[in-house]
């Protein structure tokens, strides 16, 4: 079903009826004098925020690995590895599968466009690309939300749901992504990878590999306090 919906969008150039209206509404909220508002969106569109987001996701995995003792360390490590593989797959699909797909961001096509760099001087952010579909920020956020909620527990899922909203929205405000890039491309791609990760024997294969590795003396010494 997800795959069918994804490919049906090809006939519409991966665009939705709400793309332009959503962009004009969100980008139009950037105005002279809205200092806190403008600076927030500038910061969340920056590479600094991207790095902090990566640290946050890594921290969630590390916290689960060390603190959640309901499952064995072997099981916890296997689940974390599954998430890492899924994120890597999402990034690979975007980098390879859509590398030659020309899909300009709204900042390059729609007028009026308010450039956030003209409102905020302390940082410069990227506001456009020729390959905006799908949103990599959204896809990574959603796959982490789906898998952490499924594998780590409901509390992680709720935290990651909030993270999805915070991490996926800024590009729509800054002009880097259309509504469809985020809420269609990002969501559908993450659902496809999620289905592959959960409904195949991948986790079982990872468990077997981790079990063998943890039997080695070097790993026994490193992980004996995390069991």
Long-range Cβ contact pairs of 8-15 (< 8 A, separation 24 or more): 9/180, 9/184, 9/188, 13/103, 14/103, 14/133, 14/134, 14/180, 14/181, 14/184, 14/185, 15/178, 15/180
Q: Alpha-carbon torsion 14, 17, 21, 22, what sign?
A: negative
Q: What integer pLDDT is reported at residue 4 of this predicted model? A: 46
What contacts 25, CB < 8 A, 6 or more positions away? Answer: none
Q: Is residue 7 part of a domain?
A: no
* Higher pLDDT, residue 71 or 199: 199
Residue 60 has pLDDT above 70, yes or no: yes
Q: Is residue 12 part of a domain?
A: no
Mean per-residue pLDDT, 83-109: 85
Q: Is residue 3 part of a domain?
A: no
The number of distinct structural domains making up the chain is 1
Smallest Cα–Cα separation from 126: which of 171, 80, 70?
171
Q: Is residue 14 part of a domain?
A: no
Residue 70 has pLDDT above 90, yes or no: no
Residue 85 has pLDDT above 90, yes or no: yes
- Name the residue range of residue 39's domain: 19-223
Q: Is residue 74 part of a domain?
A: yes
For the chain, the average pLDDT equals: 85
Q: Is residue 37 part of a domain?
A: yes
- In order, the DSSP letters of 192-214 are HHHHHHHSSTHHHHHHHHHHHHH
Residue 1 has pLDDT above 50, yes or no: no
State percent of the chain over pLDDT 90. 48
Q: Is residue 4 part of a domain?
A: no
When pLDDT is cut at 50, 70 and 90, the band that residue 88 belongs to is very high
Q: Is residue 13 part of a domain?
A: no
Q: What is the pLDDT of residues 140-187, one digit of tens each?
A: 999 999 999 999 999 999 999 999 989 989 999 988 888 888 888 888
DSSP one-letter code for 103: B
């Amino acid at each position: 079903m997800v795959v069918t919906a994804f490919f049906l969008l090809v006939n519409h150039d991966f665009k939705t009826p709400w793309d332009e209206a959503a962009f004009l509404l969100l980008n139009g909220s950037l105005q002279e004098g809205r200092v806190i508002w403008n600076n927030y969106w500038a910061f969340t569109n920056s590479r600094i925020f991207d790095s902090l987001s990566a640290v946050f996701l890594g921290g969630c995995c590390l916290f689960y690995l060390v603190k959640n003792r309901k499952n064995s360390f072997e099981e916890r490590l296997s689940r974390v590895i599954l998430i890492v593989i899924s994120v890597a797959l999402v990034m690979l699909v975007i980098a390879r599968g859509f590398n030659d797909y020309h899909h300009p961001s709204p900042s390059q096509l729609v007028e009026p466009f308010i450039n956030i760099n003209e409102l905020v001087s302390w940082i410069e952010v990227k506001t456009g690309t020729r390959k905006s579909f799908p949103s990599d920020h959204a896809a990574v956020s959603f796959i982490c939300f789906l898998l952490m909620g499924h594998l780590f527990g409901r509390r992680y899922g709720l935290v990651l749901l909030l993270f999805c909203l915070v991490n996926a929205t800024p590009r729509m405000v800054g002009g880097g992504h259309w509504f469809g890039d985020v809420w269609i491309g990002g969501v559908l791609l993450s659902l496809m990878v999620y289905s592959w990760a959960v409904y195949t024997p991948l986790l079982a294969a990872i468990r077997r590999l981790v079990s063998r590795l943890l039997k080695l003396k070097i790993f026994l010494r490193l992980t004996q306090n995390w069991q």
